[in-house]
Structure 1
Amino acid sequence: MSRQSTPAISKAISQPLSILITLATALAGGGIFMLLHWPLPWLLGPMIAALISSNLRKQAYSWPGQIRNTGMIIVGYTIGLSLTAPALTEISRQLPAMLLMTALLLLFCAGIAVLVSKVSGTNYKTILLGSIPGGLTQMLVLAEESEDVNLTVVTVIQVIRLMMIIICIPLLIYSPLFAGHAGGADSTPLVSAAAESTGVLFPNIIYFGIACTLCGIGGQKIKFPTAFLLGPAIITAVLQISGLEGTMLPAVLTNAAQLMIGVYVGLLLDPRKLNHKLLTLSLAVGSGAVLIAGAYGFSLLFAYLESVSAATALLSLAPGGMDQMSLIAHEVGAELPTVAGFQLFRTFFIFFAVPPLFKLIFHERKRKPEAAGTKLT
């Protein structure tokens, strides 16, 4: 781990007790979000509960990085299950369109980050990581591993964007703007046989568990980006394509993984590091709205190029999670294979291409001033 995950613990409270207090707080936060039917209850609920409680009494809260890593391994396994033969077929068929639309969306986000950075006075690296529509966990881990990045600002922008997408995209799809344009030709779910399987987890889950853990640890040792997420995702996909059947995990385990990650992020946040709070929040909401508008504009281009329905195009390009967008696609009769294929492609494109590209660009920018200084001397 590149950064200490929790504040120092008071001698009056042992670490096991502080972990139990943190867990109880997280469960309460998740439970409240569940009762209120708010989005991502077991990620955002524990995150917000840990954030508020730990800032009231920091000494009482602790959450070792190993717990977060366990949650990331579980999420990585779940992502790997999505790389099925139908998904790969859909990705290969529409690869040119996927590359074009993903590149346009990322360039649009980079442009938004330039404007927000100038208005807010926050460094561009921080705003860019907050603006990229990747997985929340992926961007936060990349932010944590990067220098000169305000993790609090990145998290605020990412969380606001995610919640706006989850709330606004369904409202758009069900609005008169899309009336008569939701239906698609094929609404067959793009899931693997493993995802539909009702079989028992054992013994295959043991093999997957060992492989995912070893790949996560090995990836970290060779400094692979977000190793505890990407390592398990890659090995799960390889094993599954090789013939070892993987099974979707029970909801309780995936919820637990979200809690493990959410608590960790909540304890990392320090609102006192958020300069110009009102301005930053306003810019986060504004940039989220502009991003949704941009995704809608690109969806019109995609619908024209590929002759798909307006709803299918928007859900394919919406910078939200594959699970939420696929669920909406199924409900409105959009082309689910297209939606899931696009969302999956963008997710893995950002997973694999953005971290090394991000580090390369800012490493070069850092070297140029150093080289200039050397010439002057």
Structure 2
Amino acid sequence: METLPRIVLALVIGTAGGSAFYLMNLPLPWMLGALFATMVASISNAPILGPARLRPAVVAVIGVLLGSRFTPDIVAEAGAWIGTLAVLMVYVVAVALVVVPFYRFAGRFDWVTAYFAGMPGGLSEMIEIGEASGAKPAPIILAHSLRIVVTIALIALWFRIIEGHEVGASMGAVEVPLTWLDALLLLTSAVFGSILGKRLRFPAPTFLGPLLVSAVLHLAGFTESAPPGLLVNAAQVLLGTVLGCRFLGISARTVLPAAALAIGATLLTLALAFGAGLAMGYLAGIAPDQALLALAPGGLTEMGLIALAIQADVAFVALHHVVRILFVIVLAPVAFRLLAVRRFTP
């Protein structure tokens, strides 16, 4: 029970941060506010603890929400995405070729650690594969955690300040009344989808499983409803709190140089994403905003939320992030063995 007060304190700080960002009308207030407040508290050695066990339920809610935006029109557009997926794969290789050397020479990482810190894959997958390959886990954790934080902040601010989109707290508003049958179907999407995702060994199973089941139910016309806004906002606070508490035990002296590296790596990646987005627009007429969200090196869940907030095609964004993660999971270990990176480790 001694951990419960620490979790409660973390949630109080996260809620306060989300509320402050909401009152200041900042982008993605509930998630970014909670993330920022708990990250500062974590670095300050506050006695908090992230509610990590609640994360599967949280991302399941967001998965169901994003799945509710799948419409029959998407099926007609899917054929044009073959070319954009090819662009995505070239982009992933380009990111690896640019960012891995950046971490090796600018960050002075050994080649093995730089390799898995610079790969544009999921946090947990890169830590697991990297540690098994002989990399140092701490720099990889910092590199990917900060990459996600920096990307979310930059992308959200870009769409709010430069593009003028309302990246606010109203994305979960339900236009269609939520009946008891709708609520049961959405709950089934979350529970059954999570089980299905784990059985099929999806990356991020408790997110992709509910998204898939929710998408199928909405495409089939069984429901047109989405989770209520209050639940979605609470899920964002929990998600931001979990992300912010990843920095527990890390001092400001360690975070600051890692943050500088993460900003540099993220800017390099976003520059490549912009170029790849232009290629997607040329090949398939994809809007620049949508292409950027599909390619940005942020988390799948977080980029999906921003896509939802600016009314972008959630299915397009989600599919490209899933393919990116799967491509890197398959590519990274194979390329590592082929390149014999260990030989170059000092």
Match for 1:250: what amino acid? P
Of 140, 146, 149 in structure 2, the residue corresponding to residue 156 of structure 1 is 146
* In 1, Cα distance between equivalents of 2:234 and 2:331: 36
Alignment CA distance shift 1:145-1:215 (3 Å): farther
- Select the structure of larger CA radius of gyration: 1
Determine whether 1:262 maps to 2:247. no
Residue in 1 that maps onto 2:86: 100
Q: Which amino acid aligns with 2:27?
A: P
The TM-score with structure 2 as length reference comes to: 0.76
Q: Which has the higher contact order (CA 8 A, sep 6+)?
A: 2
Who is 2:75 aligned against?
Answer: 88
Query: Match for residue 57 of structure 2?
Result: 70
Q: Does the CA contact (< 8 Å) of 1:98 and 1:345 recur in 2?
A: no
User: Aligned pair in 2 of structure 1 residues 266, 301: CA closer, same or farther (>3 Å)?
Assistant: closer
Secondary structure at the aligned position of 1:26 is classed as helix
Distance 1:91 1:323, change over 3 A: farther
User: CA contact under 8 A between 1:15 and 1:62: conserved in structure 2?
Assistant: yes
How far 1:61 sits from its partner (Å)? 2.4
- 2:232 counterpart letter in structure 1: T
Query: What is the alpha-carbon distance in structure 1 between the residues aligned to residue 278 and residue 54 of structure 2?
Result: 43
Q: Distance in 2 between matches of 1:36 and 1:170?
A: 13
**Which residue of the other structure, out of 353, 358, 369, is the alignment partner of 2:328?**
358
Query: Per the alignment, in what secondary structure is the counterpart of residue 226 of structure 2?
Result: coil
The alpha-carbon distance between structure 1 residues 50 and 247, as it changes in their structure 2 partners (threshold 3 A), is same
Unpaired segments ≥5 residues, structure 2: 132-136, 165-171, 297-302
For the residues of structure 2 that align with 1:251 and 1:142, how far apart are their CA atoms? 31
Identify which of 3, 11, 14 aligns with 1:26. Answer: 14
**SS state at 1:272 partner:** coil
1:77 deviates by 0.6
Q: Where does residue 135 of structure 1 map in the other structure?
A: none
Q: What is the CA RMSD across the aligned residues, in angstroms?
A: 3.5
Greater shift, 25-34 or 293-302, is seen at: 293-302
Percent identity at matched positions?
20
Separation in structure 2 between the aligned mates of residue 156 and residue 291 of structure 1, nearest angstrom: 13
Instruction: Please report the TM-score for the alignment, with normalisation by the length of structure 1.
Output: 0.70
1:338-376 deviation line (CA, Å, top 9, x unaligned)? xx34x632422322x344443334444677799x9xxxx
Residue number in structure 2 paired with 1:8: none
Query: 1:75, 1:254 within 8 Å by CA — same for their partners in 2?
Result: yes
Matched residue type, 1:69? P
Does structure 2 conserve the Cα–Cα contact (< 8 Å) formed by 1:165 and 1:292?
no
Q: Check whether the contact 2:89–2:324 (CA below 8 A) recurs between aligned residues.
A: no
Q: Within 5 Å, which residues of 2 pair with 1:195-210? A: 197-210=175-188
**Structure 1 spans left out of the alignment, 5+ residues:** 1-12, 133-138, 175-193, 331-339, 373-377
Q: 1:73 to 1:146 in 2, by over 3 A?
A: farther
1:290 to partner: Cα distance: 3.0
Aligned length: 316
